[in-house]
Amino acid sequence: MVGQDEWRYVRVRTEVSLDFLTEGRKGVADRLRILFTEGSSLSARQTLYPLGPKHDIDVLDPDPLCQCRFSSYVRRFIRSPSFAKQPVEFLRFVADVVRGGKYDVLLPTHEQTYLLSRFRDAFTPHVGLALPEFAALERLQNKAEFSRLLIELGLPQPETITIRTRAELDQPLRYPFYLKLAHSTAGGGVFYIEDHDALDRCADRLDSEGLLQGNTDVLIQRPARGVLSTVQAVFNRGELIGVHCFEARRLGVGGMSTARTSADHAVVREQVERIGNHLAWHGAFFIDYFYDRDTGRPEYIEANPRIGETVNAMLAGANLPELVVRISRGESPPRAPLGRFGVRTHNRLMILMSLAYDAGNRSALVRELRQFMKPGELYQDGEDELTRPREDRLSALPFAWTTLQLLAWPGMAKRIVAKTVGGYSLPQTAVEQIKALPLDFAGNPN
């Protein structure tokens, strides 16, 4: 394991080596200095586009080849310990960085929200940070707690029961259903169960990992009805100041949407406002749900206490990350107007990744690449969310390099996904380590 002094040495060397990227940005009075807590996720990459033109952005990540490293919007890359594998060392490292006073805003772009919310009072004297109380955050981060919150507020969800032991699986169950761990990232703890044999195999796995011993919640949830959708929202101490909905047009790895259309789901906006008010939420969250267009009824399936992927919202006219930055600075912006409905976006890189991940053959990739060149229905009248060389010339590099790797060896997709998600995920082991830390740890990390 790399020691704290060695991380500091790597960070200093990297900061110096990347200074040339930002010579033209200095001296602008209203630019803020923002630190992203990771640079590997799609969320972090997409958050660069709404914020990069106006602010100076530095990025933490354990991977020197993370996505955000290849962006003209990133001023400095700072190599850090792994949040997923070394949450204690990561917390010490971030505390050390922000106490230096270099940053106006600390922006957690993925599961680091869980750690930083628990210790937010140690950070806010040194840097702007918009996160809710830890107890409120866990009600969204924990899938079982989110299900209970929906029941408490009388909001719709698919038929759901919560268990803790293997013996509780020995009851009449209606197949198919999803078995969900309380804490997981990118679909890693969600299992589709079609029959009793599939249930036995999944239960054996969870039992071997100690997850059916009565200490952790596991959800059994029936499939929802409608089109997969997402609502993103920003709250300023319980007051809704920004909201955006989109529907999925194509799904990819882990059930993520790889093509989207901004949508008008008024009932969802109203219900999400109730959730944020109830929790006195401060910061951003997004909720995945299925929307029945015939009845106008949503069914909420899970929540994430972070900003999510925001380019669809940006192109629709809703700059959600900028709202988070402003409330991180202690401002009270008015509610932003809704973005336009019907804005179509897609993510070519993740579409190729998903094809390689599922099909594992080169011919499927070649066919899709031809669709890129001669756009069909999926790509017509839409913009790419991730690869935007007109704005960010370096953004073409991850697409080109990853495409070449997948064409050479489609099986590489599983390795790429596992490595990327492993860098920012929140496994149960990390949850337990974070909860075990004393609350004054970040204030006295040595």
Quick one: pLDDT band at residue 29, thresholds 50, 70, 90?
A: low
320 in a structural domain = yes
341, 266: one domain: yes
* Residue 61 DSSP one-character state: E
Residues 345-354, mean pLDDT to the nearest whole number? 95
65 in a structural domain = no
pLDDT for 254 equals 78
Strands 33-36 and 56-61, sheet pairing:
parallel
Question: Which of 319, 345, 371 is the endpoint of a domain?
Answer: 345
Mean pLDDT of the chain: 89
In this structure, is the dihedral angle defined by the CA atoms of residues 178, 181, 185 and 189, taken in order, positive or negative?
Answer: negative
197, 235: one domain: no
* CATH number, position 290: 3.30.470.20
As a whole number of Å, the end-to-end CA separation of the chain is 17
Statement: residue 20 has pLDDT above 50: no
Quick one: pLDDT band at residue 187, thresholds 50, 70, 90?
A: low
Residue 188: exposure state from Cβ atoms within 10 A (0-12, 13-18, ≥19): middle
140 in a structural domain = no
pLDDT for 440 equals 77
Query: Which amino acid would we find at residue 235?
Result: F
pLDDT for 253 equals 86
* pLDDT one-digit tens code per residue, 382-441: 999 999 999 999 999 999 999 999 999 999 999 988 888 777 777 777 888 888 888 877
337 in a structural domain = yes
281, 340: one domain: yes
170, 246: one domain: no
In this structure, is the dihedral angle defined by the CA atoms of residues 200, 202, 203 and 204, taken in order, positive or negative?
Answer: positive
* CATH number, position 213: 3.30.1490.20
CA distance 129 to 34: 10
Which structural domain, as residue segments, surrounds residue 202? 159-221
- Cα pseudo-dihedral 94, 99, 101, 102, rounded to 10: -20
Statement: residue 42 has pLDDT above 70: yes
235, 174: one domain: no
Statement: residue 72 has pLDDT above 60: yes
Counted residue by residue, the chain has a size of: 446
210 in a structural domain = yes
Region label for 54, one of left (φ > 0), alpha (ψ between -120 and 50) or beta (otherwise): alpha
CA distance 277 to 235: 8
291, 322: one domain: yes
Cβ atoms of 302 and 379 within 8 Å: the answer is no
247, 306: one domain: yes
Higher pLDDT: 271 or 169? It is: 271
Q: For the chain, what is the domain count?
A: 2
Question: Which of 200, 221, 242 is the endpoint of a domain?
Answer: 221
CA distance 443 to 438: 10
186, 257: one domain: no
250, 337: one domain: yes
217, 231: one domain: no
212, 231: one domain: no
Element (H, E) at 235: strand 227-236
CA distance 4 to 146: 36
352 in a structural domain = no
Residues 108-117, mean pLDDT to the nearest whole number? 94
Closest CA to 124 of 102, 148, 106, 151: 106
278 in a structural domain = yes
CA 162 to chain centre: 24
278, 297: one domain: yes
Enumerate the H helices of 60-142 as residue ranges.
87-99, 112-118, 120-123, 134-141
Element (H, E) at 323: helix 320-328
118 in a structural domain = no
* pLDDT one-digit tens code per residue, 237-286: 999 999 999 999 999 887 889 999 999 999 999 999 999 999 999 999 99
Closest CA to 225 of 277, 290, 283: 290
Question: Which of 221, 243, 260 is the endpoint of a domain?
Answer: 221
